[in-house]
Amino acid sequence: MNVIVTGQHVEITPAIRDYVVDKMERVKRHFEHPIDVSVILTVEKLNQHVEANVHVNGRDLFVEASNSDMYAAIDELVHTLDRQIIRHKEKQHDQRNGLPIKHLAGD
């Protein structure tokens, strides 16, 4: 898995980089082959903002999270990304098996 961590108005310390890479291992368990992940950490006054672009199976997923604590924002981002990847894989599985796609809006 290729993880690129960049920072805007924040210095990326080895501790933060290691924390992001360790948390992204949770995403890696859903795929056998390497995936590309780009994480951007931003500080705006008292708000810590984290964004991630993930390239999986020919599709790009975008997730963002904000919190007053950088580590909490990273945890929230990984949790949201994990749910989004599971939803993406379920849709792929349903399409391959000829099942109709479930719509989130009540039909």
pTM above 0.85, yes or no: no
Q: Which CATH superfamily is domain 2-9+32-96 in?
A: Ribosome hibernation promotion factor-like (3.30.160.100)
Domain assignments of the chain as residue spans, ordered by start: 2-9+32-96
DSSP-based three-state secondary structure for 86: helix
What is the per-residue pLDDT across 43-79, written as a single tens digit (0 to 9) for each?
988 899 999 998 877 688 899 999 999 999 999 999 9
CA distance 20 to 41: 10
CA distance 5 to 14: 11
The backbone torsions φ and ψ at residue 17, rounded to the nearest 5 degrees and listed phi first, read: -60, -45
When pLDDT is cut at 50, 70 and 90, the band that residue 98 belongs to is low
